[in-house]
Chains A and B, each alone.
Chain A
Amino acid sequence: MWGANMLMTFADPFDALFNLQRALEGRLASDWLRDQTTSEGPYPPINVFQQGDDILAIIELPGIQKDSLQIQAKENTIRIAGKKSASYPDDVSVHRRERTFGEFDRTLSLPVGLDPDRIKAEYRDGILALHLPRLERDKPRTIRVS
């Protein structure tokens, strides 16, 4: 009886391990035991890429009004501020509410000098793409040996 039970439960040890890992990760992902740690960045989340000499920042901002978005650039910092607001009718009953709404204000510092006049911002499909060209005098130069 005990043996049969053992076989049932531990037929695949990896399955049990993965389930445990999933459960642990699930706990981390939930609000349980959470009180905003410093390891998690502020809103919105940013990915920074290098595109040739220039920098490309891709920011996930679904459902934002384009004109509520404020982008400022100064030297090597970029500030992204705005508001994400909900528009639902009042006379509905809520089944599930996972989306978050509110204000955000985030500053991003880059280790290279930026050319503020040539910065391009593009908002499409809930993604904000910032094309950040590097300053001409900041670019690496090849020095010929004479």
Chain B
Amino acid sequence: MTSTQELQVQKKRELENKQETTIPARMFVPVSDIYEAENELMVVLEMPGVEKSNVAVHVEDGVLNVEGRLDLTKYQGLQPLYTEYNIGHYSRSFRLSSKIDQNQIAAEMKDGTLSLRLPKIEEAKPRTIQIK
């Protein structure tokens, strides 16, 4: 059923930031999937057009922050004829529920999607308790 389903366009959500930015560019919220496995948390974010070198990931006080910067110089000198979507930088923060080992976070950027693997620290992993 799902494999034959027609894809629909998702309207980009603009970031409602608490702080003001110093650059006159638009910011969007990247579309994300979050999955939890036994030992790790996986976060996948779609940031089309963002190069690998322009991605920043931070974990601070249990908040995961992802920022992707778009190379807007590529659009210079282009004259728009017809447009359907807006472009801008991406930014999103998540409050993490489980304890994450901040030194072991792995990130992979491929085809405009950022995949993050956030391993849980030992205390946060599920345990089976033996009954004597």
Interface size on A, residues (CB 8 A): 46
B9 contacts A43, CB within 8 Å? yes
Chain A residue numbers with a CB within 8 Å of B41 are 95
Q: What residue in chain A is nearest B32 (Cβ atoms)?
A: A98
A103 contacts B7, CB within 8 Å? yes
Q: How far is the CA of A62 from the CA of B45 in the complex (A)?
A: 10
Which residues of B (29-86) have their CB < 8 Å from a CB of A?
Answer: 31-38, 41-42, 44, 46-52, 75, 77-85
B48 contacts A100, CB within 8 Å? no
Chain A residues engaging chain B, CB cutoff 8 angstroms: 22, 28-29, 36, 40-51, 55-56, 60-64, 83-85, 88-89, 91-104, 123, 125-127
Question: 7 tightest CB-CB pairs across the interface, nearest first?
Answer: A126-B112, A126-B48, A62-B112, A43-B7, A95-B34, A49-B78, A96-B34
Name 17 A/B residue pairs within 8 A (Cβ), A-sorted: A41-B9, A43-B6, A46-B82, A49-B79, A51-B78, A51-B79, A61-B112, A91-B38, A92-B42, A93-B35, A98-B31, A99-B31, A101-B7, A102-B7, A103-B7, A125-B48, A126-B113
